[in-house]
Structure 1
Amino acid sequence: MGREGSPRFAFVQLELPWDLGPPAGRYVLRGHAGEPEHVLVLQGHGSRPQGRLGARRARRVDAGPEPATVSITRATLVDAVPIGDEREARAWLAGADLAARAEAAVDVLNRVLHAQRIVRADPFVREVALEQALAVRVGVGRGEEVAEGEWTEARGVPRPRPRAERRAGALRPQERFAALLSGRDVALAAEELTLRARLDLDRGRTREAALQARVALEAALAELQAWSHRADLAGRLDELRGHRAAVADAANRALEGGLDADQIAAVQAVVARLEAALAARVAGGLE
């Protein structure tokens, strides 16, 4: 079969400005039945910042240490099943939902990174968000190309707005940041726990989300009590107490196995209400 007639494979490629953790190489990702679904190609290289301005100096000076090299990882997620020859691949790429393909690839990559964090027992292995990538591409290529992180044709995917902007509270983040740094406000344990529950929900880890949500709820009920004199917070605290039984049931079920649809919905509801209550505390003032 000629190069023009050889099968093409679809891929999504992300370039991220840090070492993801797993060693460079190729990883076959299989589904529940053991069938290959994707091949993940990880490549790492360094990018050195530009040197100091000014090519000439009036006198010799100690330049100091060189700027550190920044690690960049290129992650290419290749579909295991080919999409056809060159003509079919071009037609596929022309009609592909680039943003949806990129988001789906991030979900798969994060499952890999979650596994890496578990096996290394390293909480600092980071999952990624699409907006953190330096570059995102969706494309097609021959098998020998995509196996090396290359392609025949690719299109860039615009990065979405940061999640912090999409989920911004009533108080602008910079104002809250300044308040925390100046000691005019404190970060509540419930805020961190709710963030962890949100991340687990977004990544489809519903058992972990249920357990996090239960602890986040109890922490919020205790910590927000200091602001219960405010009518807006008093009502929200009553609302949160009403979620206790459903979240406890979901957390208890999570200790035994997977959650059903109603339990997942209960966890989603309480996380949303926790986010709203915590944002309301800040929006209404910190006194």
Structure 2
Amino acid sequence: MPLFTRTRLNYEDRIKTDFILSGLFQYGQMDTFLFVALVILFAVALMGNIILILLIQLDTRLHTPMYFLLSQLSFMDIMNITTTVPKLATNFLSNSKTITFLGCESQTFVLIVLGGTEALLLGFMSYDRYVAICHPLHYPVLMSKKICWIMVTCAWTSGSINALVHTLYVFHLPFCRSRLINHFFCELPSLLQLVCQETSQYEYTVLLSGLIILLLPFLAILASYACVLTVVFQVSSGKGQTKAVSTCFSHLTVASLFYVTALSTYTRPHSLHSPEQGKAVAVFYTIITPLLNPFIYSLRNKEVIGTMRRLLV
């Protein structure tokens, strides 16, 4: 079909055409092994997050602001991995790589919502630890149930508005090139590669929203843990300092994996994107981070382990 004709197709006509996902794996022996490993990681991540949510719900001693925010994080991680991995597995096993226009649009929207919401929530979680350690007497007031719900609502609302704006704009652009998306799911930078009109101005909008939603919370986390470590080193013994450093380092490592990989995807011009590199980076914030979060943040805590033992006995 000629280019000038395709650019005049309306939205209703365009949604009848499927996209094709290149996938993460091909069909060699090594790819099959990596696929099985990925499915195992998916199952472990899913189980870990579900167990954490159940433990928090069943034990009233875990009904605290910290664990309330952690349960929200686990819920987001479950949604994140179930939005990408099942479709990847289905396409690999059936040798069918198609995804409908509306399916791609929905996947893009959900993933942007979850990415933005999780970025803000991680920032709020670091604030919770900052208040608990640096201002313990004010903790019941500064982290009341009402304020926790305001934080969660703010995170979900901001992430949803950001996702809605970007999704509606991108999916009303003319896709005049091949419908082959060089990725294993529908992601904004990969979709921009298929657009036949100039998108440099829009990329500045993506950059700005990425800096606000990703970079600002990350800087807040760094500042919060810097304050926490300062207080700990002033009042704690050597053993307490070691534990605090270990905990902060673990949290910062996981948070850095999420923020740095997401920033490298959403704040770089699409002309500089490498498809293979983009796939590898996406694995970290869509699969590895949801796998690590429940273990790093909660399942190694004494309170959570104690709850698990009481429920199993």
TM-score normalised according to structure 1 size: 0.33
Which is greater in Rg? 1
TM-score normalised according to structure 2 size: 0.31
Structure having the higher helix fraction is 2
Structure having the higher strand fraction is 1
